[in-house]
A and B are shown apart, each in its own frame.
Chain A
Amino acid sequence: MDTQNPTGYAQVLVESNSQSGASTQYLYGLALVAESRTTTVNGTQQTQTSYYVFDGHGSVRALTNTSGAVTDTYDYDAFGILIHQTGTTPNNYLFAGEQFDPDLGLYYNRARYLNTSSGRFWTMDTFEGRSQDPLSLHKYLYVGADPINHIDPRGKDLAESIAAVAISVTLFVQSVPQLLSEAFEEGGTAVGVLFNELGQVAENYAGQTLALVEDALPEIETLPQQPVGQRVIDFVVRNTETAKQLFIEVKYGLPSGPEALGRLVAQVQAASQAAQQNGGQVILWTLKNLTPQELQTLESEIGNSEVQVVSGVENLYKVVTNYFQ
């Protein structure tokens, strides 16, 4: 087993049978490339190598021999039931490129086994779910019951990852008032430096959240720091197939001083102009949740109904995902 490989997930490198002496070696590049099976027949060792052919979903659709000739083919239904197969090459890597356990009749998706017959995981999700997101409350559901558009090599619900980021944000935001009070006490440039750092942290949280959107929607791509006109837009998120896009301006929270607020309004207006010229919508995202009063102030300052104000990583994830789905 290799936990440090370019696929990003733990992978089996070698399987061996101590009694028969047979072994199978798996070759990985950025994905599974080939398997080499070594067997002993009448005292002679024989090695047969097969190469994997994947579809866009990541499922193995064929095996080829070393000459490139197709030896085996596989067809699945949406949830991964093998509905048709040709060839007899021993191979357990099938639906979504994961390892099928023929003894159990289940796929090994690391944290959990997947039963493609029922389209559900075999065991419960460790994530308790969120009350506002019914799909996340289901303990056995596989990829939100959308197996055509998603995969789950970790066996963990995506919502769990977002919840983990949200918890991290809560811890961070709770610590900020103390840091601010110390910075104000220190005086000089300390406050400005801290606000600058808070902005950078917010951007990193946005980047992290958008990476989860990219995981969930493979056709989505994010351009960080995109210069447009006189401004650098923090993130432009686009659908590579349709060119539909979102312009995202990131802030830690609502600035209190009129000068800083004026700068923010100018930034949002620049993003808005860029969105109009290139086609797309603008989101002003704050890491810290805004109070209804802050939200009202912001909306009256921006004065543009086409700019959507969003706070918190969970809402960012939801709004961006919904926009592109």
Chain B
Amino acid sequence: MRTQLAKSLRDSFSKHVQTEFPGFAAVEPTDALMGGLLFRQWFPAELSCFIYLQVSAKDDSFMVELSCSKGEFPINLVAFGPNDIRGGCVRFRLPELYREEWTQKVRRVPWWWIGPPTVAREVTAKAVERAVAGKRPLTDEGMPIEEALPLVEPQVLDAIDRIKRFGMPFFEQFAQSQGSKV
């Protein structure tokens, strides 16, 4: 994601997490977060719930992961799905919780896009066209930054709303299943 957009995204996401989910506190950023943000909430019985904002390094998109663990954020676990519990840990991409909304439309878990999403087939077609014409395969022309910036907030609000509607009930249910109370 372009630097300015990423900054705006992190600021907005952070602000809304603090407002909407005050039990979650930001974890000190480390290299392992790769430019993203991690928020943690402790339950009794040492269960921690995490919200991880993943900022794409490749395009203007982001993903939200949720996780529960009896220790730190399970950084080495692949985000399988909400039902794939490994060693008491679970990690998955938020849209897994509302699969029925998108599974008929797209095969892959949808990301939040700032501006129109890129399609691999279209990117490669354009790249070939440019390369054959002796031009660099990709262009820097994305949506102008001043047009893209106002699109950050609505996407963040959508993600926050979905965390509220799908993520929080999941955390509660998971905590209960692990013998913790919210």
A→B interface (CB under 8 Å):
6, 30-31, 165, 168, 171-172, 175-176, 178-179, 182, 193-194, 197-198, 200-201, 203-205, 207-208, 211, 214, 221-230, 232, 236, 238, 240, 243, 245, 273-274, 277-278
Q: Which of B32, B105, B121 contacts A30 (CB 8 A)?
A: B105
Interface string of B110-139 (1 = CB under 8 A from A): 000000000011011101100110101110
Contacting residues, chain B, for A238 (C-beta < 8 A): 78, 80
- Residues of B near A208 (CB, < 8 A) are 120-121, 124
B78 and chain A: residue at smallest CB distance? A278
Considering the chains assembled together, what is the distance between the CA atoms of A228 and B75 in angstroms? 6
Within 8 Å of chain A (Cβ to Cβ): is B11?
no
Shortest C-beta distance, B144 to chain A (Å), equals 20
**CA distance in complex: A211, B107 (Å):** 8
Which residue on A lies nearest to B56, using beta carbons? A225
A230 contacts B79, CB within 8 Å? no
| Total cross-chain contacts (CB, 8 A) | 106
B125 touches which one: A168, A203, A240 (CB < 8 A)?
Answer: A168
A30 to B34, CA, bound (A): 36
B76 in contact with A172 (CB, 8 Å): no
Inter-subunit contact A176/B131 (CB<8 Å): yes
Instruction: Give the contacting residue for A222; candidates B31, B93, B108, B137; CB below 8 A.
Output: B108
Bound form: Cα–Cα A197–B123 in Å? 11
What residue in chain B is nearest A172 (Cβ atoms)?
A: B128
Give the residues in chain A near B36, CB-CB below 8 Å: 227
Docked-complex contact A205 and B138, CB < 8 angstroms: no
Are B123 and A175 interface neighbours, CB within 8 A?
Answer: no
- Chain B 22-46 per-residue mask, 1 if CB under 8 angstroms from chain A, else 0: 0000000001101010000000000
Complex contact B127–A225 (CB within 8 A): no
CA distance A236 to B109 in the complex (A): 12
Are B78 and A204 within 8 A (Cβ)?
no
Question: Quick check: B131 and A200 within 8 Å, CB to CB?
Answer: no
What's the nearest-Cβ distance from chain A to residue B112, in Å?
Answer: 13
| B78 in contact with A228 (CB, 8 Å) | yes
A225 touching B76 by the CB < 8 A rule? no
